[in-house]
C-alpha cells in the first residue's frame, strides 16, 4: 500500500482528496451535527428564511442537506472562517460545555447561547448582609460564607442519618446540619466554599440548619476569600446534573463574549430608553449576571420585564389584527323587530354598565370589523342578558347565533332562561348536547342546516364536524376558561367566520385580562343590578371550626344549602391542607350524620359530577363538599 494512505485508501489529513479538489461543495456532517448545520438550526425560522440567512452569512447555499462550505475557506482555517449568529448557535460550542453537558443543559431549557444569556438568577445574596461566622448569634436568621473544614454523617438512635459539615472563615467556625440528607457527603468536599442561609440553633453549641445553600467554589478552585467583600452572589436555578458552581463557571467563561453580541439586538433608541428610564439591553443583562448593587439588579429586571410585556403585546396585536381586521367581518343590521319587544318586556331595568357594554357590542357587530370581544363580569352582573341581546341582533339580520356552555347542566339552564324570554317573541330555542337521543339530535342538526334553528344553546357538541350551519353569525362562549383555545376558536375557523363574544365570571383586573386575552377587546360589567343581596365575607380561624359547623347546620335547618370547598382532592404529604375526600367522610359520619352530604371534585367522571350537581340543584343534598370544580353560574335557589 502506498505511503500516507489511510482508511478506505484515501489520503491522510493534510492532503486534500480528489473529491474535495474537484470543487464539490457538499461537506458531509456527522449525525451529532445535524441539529447544528441542518434545517431548523435557527429555532423558530422557516426553512426558506434559514437558507436565505445562511447564504447571506456565508454558511451555505440553498441546499438544505449540506453546510455548503467553500473549499478555500475550509482549507484555510476550517470552521473558524464561518460566521454564525453567536446568540443562536448551540450551547455545546461555548467554552466549558461540550456534547455531554449540552444535553444536561438542554433538559433545563438551555439549548442555545441565547438561552444561557437569558437564564437569569433566581436569588441574590448581598455580601454586605453576610455576617462573620464568629459573630452569629443563636436564634438569628443569618447568611454566612465559609470553607468546609470537616464533614461526616451522624446516625441517630431512631435511624435518621444527619450530614454535618464544619464551616470556617477568618472569624471562627460553626457546625451546619442537614437532617435526612446523607447523600450530601458525596456532593460536598472539604475545602468547598459554601454560602448558607438559615436559623442558628443551640445543639451542643451553635448549629445552623441551612434552608438553602450554594457551592460558590470547589476546593480545587482558586477563589480567594477576599472576593466575599462587597460582592453580590447570583444563585441560578440548578439541577443535579448541572450544579450551581458549574453554571457560575459557564457564565464566568462566556458572559463577556456573549454580551458583545447583544447591542445588535437593541431595538430601543437612546431617547426612547431615556424616556422610559430603562438601561440598554447589554447593560441590563450584565447587571443581572454580574450585579454591582441590588438597585442595578432591579433596574435590569425592569428592562427585561418591559421587553417581555412589549413583545407579548406585539404578538397579541398581530393576532388581533389577523382575527378582526384582516378577515372580513359580517355587518349586522338592527331592525328592533326582536330587540325592542324584549327590552320592553324585561321585568327589570338594565344597569348603566349593561347599557354601555351593549353599545360597545352593537358598534362592533354593526361594522365590517369582525368582533372578537371578552365580556367580563362577576356572577350575577347580568352577562347572560347581554349575550341574549347580541344574539337577537344576529337574528334580526337573518343569521344564526349559538351559545356554548362547558357542561350540559349549564347549557340546560341557559336554554330554560332563553326560552322564557324568547318564546313570547315567537322565537324557538334549540339545544344540542351529547346526551340527546339520536332522533332529537338529528332533528336539531337538520334545523341548523336549513336555518330553522336561529338561536341554539349547546356544549362541545356544537363544534363537532357533523354540525353544519346555514348562516352562522354570532358565537357566544360562556365560562371561557373551561374551554381550550382550539375548542373556542373551532366555530370561528370558517370561510365566513362569525363574530365572537366570550364571557367570563372570573374576577380579573383589567391589566391581567389584557395580558391573558390581549387579542380580544375587553368589556367590563362593573355594576351589579338593583335588588341584589349584598355578599358578606367573613374570616374564621381553625379554632372556630365548630362554630362554623353549627352555623351551617342552623342554615340547613332553615331550608338553605351550603357549599364547603377544600383545596385538595386527597391528602398530600407535601402540604398540610385538608382534602375534600377525607373531610366528606368525616363530615358525613361525625359532624352531620343527620344531613345529606354530597361530594364533587375533578377526579370524578363527568356523569358523576352531573348527577351530584343535579341532586344539589333539586334540593336532594343539604351540603356539598367540593373542590374548586364546582360550577360557576349554576342557579341554586
pLDDT at 511: 56
User: Mapping DSSP to helix (H, G, I), strand (E, B) and coil, where does residue 70 land?
Assistant: coil
Q: What are the 10-residue block averages of pLDDT along the chain, 637 residues in total? A: 43 41 38 35 38 40 35 36 63 91 92 92 77 87 89 85 91 90 87 87 88 78 50 81 85 91 90 93 93 90 92 83 76 93 90 94 91 85 92 95 87 88 91 88 93 92 85 86 59 74 75 63 85 82 91 93 89 76 92 92 80 86 85 62
pLDDT at 160: 86
Give the span between the Cα atoms of 80 and 67, in whole angstroms.
14
Same-domain check for residues 216 and 356? no
Give the span between the Cα atoms of 243 and 233, in whole angstroms.
15
Same-domain check for residues 490 and 353? yes
Angle formed at CA 152 by CA 151 and CA 155, multiple of 5 degrees: 150
For residue 195, give the nearest of 171, 167, 223, 172 by alpha carbon.
Answer: 167
Give the span between the Cα atoms of 358 and 356, in whole angstroms.
5
Same-domain check for residues 434 and 478? yes
Return the bridge partners of 490, or none: none
User: Mapping DSSP to helix (H, G, I), strand (E, B) and coil, where does residue 77 land?
Assistant: helix
Same-domain check for residues 504 and 575? no
Give the span between the Cα atoms of 13 and 4, in whole angstroms.
9
pLDDT at 516: 64
What pTM does this model have? 0.59
What residue spans of 137-229 are helical by DSSP H?
Answer: 184-187
Return the bridge partners of 600, or none: 626
pLDDT at 259: 92
The answer to whether residue 204 sits within a structural domain is yes
Same-domain check for residues 353 and 486? yes
The label of the residue with cell 346526551 reads 435
The answer to whether residue 378 sits within a structural domain is yes
CB-CB contact of 468 with 495 (8 Å): no
The CATH number of residue 427's host domain is 3.40.50.300
Domain boundary among 177, 210, 235: 235
The answer to whether residue 199 sits within a structural domain is yes
Same-domain check for residues 519 and 546? no
Same-domain check for residues 514 and 616? no
Same-domain check for residues 511 and 439? yes
pLDDT at 74: 32
CB-CB contact of 396 with 335 (8 Å): yes
Domain boundary among 525, 555, 587: 525
Which H or E element spans position 577?
Answer: none
Same-domain check for residues 448 and 578? no
Long-range contacts (CB closer than 8 Å, 24 or more residues apart) made by 586-590: 587/623, 587/625
Give the span between the Cα atoms of 561 and 554, in whole angstroms.
10
Same-domain check for residues 174 and 143? yes
Same-domain check for residues 212 and 351? no
CB-CB contact of 453 with 445 (8 Å): no
Domain boundary among 195, 212, 235: 235
Q: Which residues contact 289 (CB under 8 A, 6 or more apart)?
A: 120, 121, 234, 251, 255
pLDDT at 636: 67
DSSP 600-633: E-TTS-HHHHHHHHHHHHTT--SEEEE-TTSPSS
The answer to whether residue 530 sits within a structural domain is no
The answer to whether residue 351 sits within a structural domain is yes
CB-CB contact of 623 with 587 (8 Å): yes
Q: Write out the residue range of the structural domain in which residue 196 sits.
A: 127-235
The label of the residue with cell 357542561 reads 407
Axis crossing angle, helix 281-289 with helix 244-259, rounded to the nearest 10 = 160
Q: What does residue 290 show for φ and ψ, rounded to 5 degrees? A: -130, 70
| Number of domains the chain contains | 3
Give the span between the Cα atoms of 13 and 354, in whole angstroms.
81
Q: Which residues contact 583 (CB under 8 A, 6 or more apart)?
A: 564, 566, 625
> How does DSSP classify residue 164?
E
Give the span between the Cα atoms of 414 and 406, in whole angstroms.
11
pLDDT at 148: 93
The answer to whether residue 79 sits within a structural domain is no
The answer to whether residue 619 sits within a structural domain is yes
Kind of pairing, strands 400-404 and 429-432? unpaired
Give the span between the Cα atoms of 277 and 377, in whole angstroms.
36
Q: Which residues contact 600 (CB under 8 A, 6 or more apart)?
A: 608, 609, 612, 613, 624, 625, 626, 627, 629, 630
pLDDT at 80: 41
pLDDT at 605: 80
The CATH number of residue 136's host domain is 2.40.50.140
Same-domain check for residues 570 and 609? yes
Which H or E element spans position 222?
Answer: none
Amino acid at each position: 500500500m502506498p505511503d500516507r494512505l489511510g482508511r478506505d485508501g484515501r489520503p491522510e489529513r493534510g492532503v486534500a482528496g480528489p473529491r474535495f479538489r474537484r470543487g464539490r461543495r457538499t461537506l458531509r456532517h456527522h449525525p451529532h451535527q445535524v441539529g447544528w448545520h441542518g434545517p431548523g438550526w435557527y429555532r423558530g425560522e422557516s426553512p426558506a428564511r434559514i437558507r436565505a440567512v445562511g447564504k447571506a452569512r456565508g454558511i451555505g447555499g440553498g441546499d438544505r442537506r449540506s453546510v455548503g462550505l467553500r473549499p478555500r475557506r475550509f482549507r484555510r482555517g476550517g470552521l473558524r472562517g464561518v460566521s454564525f449568529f453567536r446568540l443562536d448557535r448551540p450551547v455545546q460550542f461555548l467554552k466549558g460545555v461540550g456534547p455531554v453537558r449540552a444535553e444536561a443543559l438542554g433538559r433545563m431549557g438551555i439549548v442555545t447561547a441565547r438561552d444561557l444569556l437569558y437564564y437569569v438568577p433566581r436569588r441574590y445574596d448581598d455580601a454586605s448582609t453576610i455576617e462573620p461566622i464568629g459573630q452569629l448569634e443563636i436564634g438569628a436568621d443569618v447568611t454566612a460564607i465559609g470553607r468546609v473544614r470537616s464533614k461526616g454523617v451522624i446516625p441517630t438512635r431512631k435511624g435518621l442519618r444527619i450530614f454535618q459539615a464544619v464551616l470556617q472563615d477568618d472569624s471562627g467556625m460553626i457546625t451546619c446540619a442537614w437532617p435526612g440528607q446523607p447523600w450530601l457527603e458525596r456532593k460536598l468536599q472539604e475545602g468547598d466554599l459554601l454560602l448558607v442561609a438559615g436559623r442558628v440553633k443551640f445543639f451542643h453549641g451553635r448549629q445552623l440548619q441551612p434552608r438553602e445553600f450554594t457551592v460558590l467554589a470547589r476546593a480545587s478552585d482558586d477563589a480567594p476569600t477576599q472576593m466575599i467583600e462587597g460582592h453580590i452572589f447570583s444563585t441560578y436555578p440548578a439541577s443535579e446534573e448541572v450544579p450551581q458552581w458549574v453554571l457560575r463557571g459557564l457564565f464566568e467563561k462566556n458572559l463577556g463574549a456573549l454580551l458583545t453580541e447583544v447591542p445588535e439586538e437593541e431595538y430601543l433608541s437612546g431617547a426612547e430608553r431615556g424616556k422610559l428610564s430603562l438601561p440598554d439591553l447589554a447593560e441590563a443583562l450584565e447587571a443581572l449576571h454580574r450585579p454591582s448593587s441590588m438597585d442595578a439588579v432591579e433596574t435590569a429586571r425592569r428592562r427585561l420585564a418591559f421587553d417581555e410585556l412589549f413583545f407579548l403585546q406585539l404578538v397579541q396585536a398581530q393576532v388581533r389584527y389577523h382575527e378582526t381586521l384582516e378577515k372580513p367581518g359580517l355587518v349586522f343590521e338592527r331592525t328592533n323587530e326582536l330587540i325592542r319587544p324584549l327590552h320592553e318586556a324585561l321585568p327589570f331595568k338594565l344597569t348603566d354598565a349593561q347599557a354601555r357594554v351593549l353599545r360597545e357590542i352593537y358598534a362592533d357587530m354593526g361594522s365590517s370589523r369582525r368582533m372578537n370581544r371578552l365580556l367580563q363580569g362577576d356572577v350575577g352582573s347580568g352577562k347572560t342578558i347581554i349575550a341574549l341581546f347580541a344574539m337577537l341582533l344576529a337574528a334580526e339580520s337573518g343569521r344564526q347565533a349559538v351559545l356554548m356552555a362547558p357542561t350540559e347542566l349549564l347549557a340546560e339552564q341557559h336554554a330554560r332562561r332563553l326560552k322564557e324570554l324568547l318564546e313570547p317573541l315567537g322565537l324557538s330555542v334549540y339545544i344540542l348536547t351529547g346526551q340527546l337521543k339520536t332522533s332529537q339530535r338529528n332533528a336539531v342538526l337538520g334545523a341548523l342546516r336549513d336555518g330553522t334553528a336561529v338561536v341554539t344553546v349547546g356544549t362541545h357538541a356544537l363544534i363537532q364536524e357533523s354540525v353544519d350551519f346555514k348562516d352562522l353569525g354570532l358565537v357566544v362562549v360562556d365560562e371561557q376558561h373551561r374551554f381550550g383555545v382550539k375548542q373556542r376558536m373551532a366555530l370561528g375557523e370558517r370561510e365566513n367566520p362569525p363574530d365572537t363574544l366570550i364571557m367570563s365570571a372570573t374576577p380579573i383586573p383589567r391589566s391581567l385580562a389584557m395580558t391573558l386575552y390581549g387579542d380580544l377587546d375587553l368589556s367590563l360589567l362593573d355594576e351589579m343590578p338593583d335588588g341584589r343581596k349584598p355578599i358578606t365575607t367573613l374570616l374564621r380561624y381553625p379554632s372556630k371550626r365548630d362554630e362554623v359547623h353549627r352555623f351551617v347546620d342552623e342554615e340547613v335547618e332553615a331550608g338553605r344549602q351550603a357549599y364547603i370547598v377544600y383545596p385538595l382532592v386527597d391528602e398530600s404529604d407535601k402540604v398540610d391542607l385538608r382534602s375534600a375526600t377525607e373531610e366528606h367522610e368525616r363530615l358525613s359520619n361525625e359532624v352531620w350524620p343527620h344531613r345529606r352530604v354530597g361530594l364533587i371534585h375533578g377526579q370524578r367522571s363527568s356523569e358523576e359530577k352531573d348527577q351530584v350537581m343535579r341532586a344539589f340543584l333539586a334540593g336532594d343534598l343539604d351540603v356539598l363538599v367540593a373542590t374548586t370544580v364546582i360550577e360557576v353560574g349554576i342557579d341554586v335557589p
